[in-house]
């Protein structure tokens, strides 16, 4: 076949573009909607910050419960079908969040969102790494990383306008409709593997070798015997605690503790996101040359430092914006870099499964962080102790990843 020459644009870039839009909407829901609409939901649903953490925990409970299944399904039936189907759950659950009447219904609907979201990340990064050559994966994931930053960044501008003109419920409803549109988009444009188009991964000159019909022979328990699996996993858990304490609560911190206007507090997410766009592209590209371990150690250490700067900034909004911007620059590439670690340190046939299992660590951190942070805030009356916990968790993440050996070792 000569199909390599029949496309003016390599299909890898079409897959990347569709994935970009998918993650844009997913993270508009996952971080943008929750973080930015939370102050209004707290008021209307009459809940405290511990209960708000329970809503978040419900999302991540189903997220981590279903993520290993998504990795397993991706390795067997392909990312295209997994992503397209579970966009239904993402869209329906998000729309229903706009109907929540209290704590219990918010928890129920957010669990549905978590089921759908569990199919957005693992299958996407597995698919992208198949479509791009070994020396181009960091570049591809770096290009992909602004998608989620743009998602919650633009929500920091758009959602306050929607809240002012209509209600916080309308924000959830519009995002739910957007999630349902993804079903059609991904079904039409995504392809799970370059072999479906008869082309090589972009950045590789050789033709892909057709994989045998039999499934790869490996045992799940072998993964748990690997030292580097536990180092990556525990580091992933700790940075998840640190990062989500900030992203989930930074807007609420501004509104409740600093008493700044809602639009100003929402702008913190926009700053965090837009600085993260630059960070995602630059740091992911650097990780191709300096190694994921080395770059992650630097990132985690500077995330911890930026959290301390957020605490010390207090109500000095210009200084606080700078601190949030530093956090955003180093926060954004964390998630794609851990996915790249899975591809670097494990056989390619196991990538989807490994990322899915590692999501248990990530999701556990995302559950524990907001609940513990919310409880600390309710007890102490300040966000500072919770933010300090986030900084400590980030430092521990840097320490754990520092024990990781290079892939070839």
pLDDT tens figures, 326-353? 999 998 888 778 877 776 777 666 766 7
Query: Residue 391's pLDDT is what?
Result: 95
Residue 213 pLDDT level (bands cut at 50, 70, 90):
very low
The dihedral region occupied by 203, where left means phi > 0, alpha psi between -120 and 50, and beta the remainder, is left
Q: What is the pLDDT of residues 270-306, one digit of tens each?
A: 898 889 888 877 887 787 778 778 888 999 999 999 9
Q: What is the pLDDT of residues 51-92, one digit of tens each?
A: 988 998 899 899 888 877 887 788 788 888 899 999 999 999
Asked if residue 205 has pLDDT above 70, the reply is: no
pTM: 0.76
Q: What is the pLDDT of residues 152-195, one digit of tens each?
A: 888 888 999 998 889 899 999 999 999 999 999 998 888 877 87
Q: Return the exposure string of 187-222: e unless at least 16 CB atoms fall within 10 Å of the residue's CB, then b.
A: eebbbbbbbebebbbbbeeeeeeeeeeeeeeeeeee
Query: Residue 208's pLDDT is what?
Result: 45
Distances (CA, A) of 72 to 25, 112, 161, 220: 24, 20, 41, 11
Domain 3-198+220-402 sits in CATH 1.20.1250.20: yes
């Amino acid at each position: 076949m000569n199909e390599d020459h029949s496309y003016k644009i390599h299909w890898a870039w079409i897959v990347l573009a569709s994935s970009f839009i998918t993650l844009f909407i997913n993270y508009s829901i996952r971080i943008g909607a929750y973080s930015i609409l939370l102050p209004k939901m707290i008021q209307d649903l009459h809940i405290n910050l511990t209960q708000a953490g329970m809503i978040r925990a419900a999302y991540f409970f189903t997220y981590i419960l279903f993520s290993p299944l998504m990795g397993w399904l991706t390795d067997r039936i392909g990312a295209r079908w997994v992503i397209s189907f579970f966009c239904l759950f993402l869209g329906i659950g998000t729309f229903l969040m706009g109907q929540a009447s209290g704590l219990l219904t918010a928890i129920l609907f957010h669990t549905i969102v978590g089921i759908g979201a569990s199919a957005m990340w693992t299958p996407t990064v597995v698919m992208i790494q198949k479509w791009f050559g070994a020396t181009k994966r960091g570049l591809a994931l770096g290009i992909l990383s602004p998608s989620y930053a743009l998602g919650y960044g633009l929500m920091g501008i758009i959602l306050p306008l929607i809240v002012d003109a209509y209600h916080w419920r309308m924000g959830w409803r519009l995002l739910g409709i957007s999630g349902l549109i993804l079903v059609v988009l991904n079904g039409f444009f995504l392809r799970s593997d370059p072999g479906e188009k008869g082309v090589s991964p972009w950045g590789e000159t050789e033709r892909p070798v057709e994989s045998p019909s039999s499934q790869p022979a490996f045992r799940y328990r072998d993964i748990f015997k690997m030292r580097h699996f536990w180092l990556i996993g525990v580091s992933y858990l700790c940075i998840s605690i640190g990062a989500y304490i900030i992203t989930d609560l930074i807007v609420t911190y501004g509104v409740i503790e600093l008493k700044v206007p809602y639009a100003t507090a929402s702008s913190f997410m926009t700053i965090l996101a837009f600085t993260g766009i630059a960070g995602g592209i630059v740091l992911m590209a650097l990780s191709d040359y300096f190694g994921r371990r080395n770059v992650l150690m630097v990132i985690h250490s500077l995330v911890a430092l930026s959290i301390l700067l957020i605490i010390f900034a207090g109500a000095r909004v210009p200084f606080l914006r700078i601190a949030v911007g530093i956090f955003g620059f180093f926060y954004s590439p964390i998630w794609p870099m851990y996915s790249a670690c899975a591809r670097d340190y494990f056989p390619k046939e196991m990538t989807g499964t490994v990322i899915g299992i590692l999501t248990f660590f990530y999701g556990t951190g995302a559950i524990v962080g907001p609940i513990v942070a919310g409880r600390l805030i309710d007890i102490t009356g300040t966000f500072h102790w919770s933010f300090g916990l986030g900084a400590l968790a980030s430092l521990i993440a840097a320490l754990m990843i520092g024990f990781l050996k290079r892939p070839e070792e």
